[in-house]
Amino acid sequence: MMNFKQLAIALSLGVLFFTSCGGWTEEDQRNFMDLCEKKSERAYCDCALGKMMEKFDSFEDITEDEGALAEILSSEDCLALEEK
């Protein structure tokens, strides 16, 4: 299992490879889930995606606030799903 730091780095790099025209498209959501599920459990990824969609207006907006991204990826309620 990948630790938080490795996951955050992988996701941050992945974000740089995908762009969006605004809003969370189905493709954006699939891209995030594909990246996340390579390193984490689906339940964790679903939780993190939901939190990101609440916090950010689009997939590309994630790069504008890395602190918020790190907070989401390390949120205890999502991490608790990873441990189950």
pLDDT, tens digit, for every residue of 13-50?
A: 565 455 445 689 999 999 999 999 998 999 999 999 99
Distance of alpha carbon 80 from alpha carbon 74, whole angstroms: 10
- Cβ-based neighbours of 77, under 8 Å, separated by 6 or more: 47
Number of domains in the chain: 1
Has this prediction a pTM greater than 0.85?
A: no
Using the structure block, give the residue that is written with the tokens 């891209």: 31
In terms of residue numbers, what domain contains 69?
4-82
Q: What is the DSSP string of 62-82?
A: GGG-HHHHHHHHT-HHHHHHH
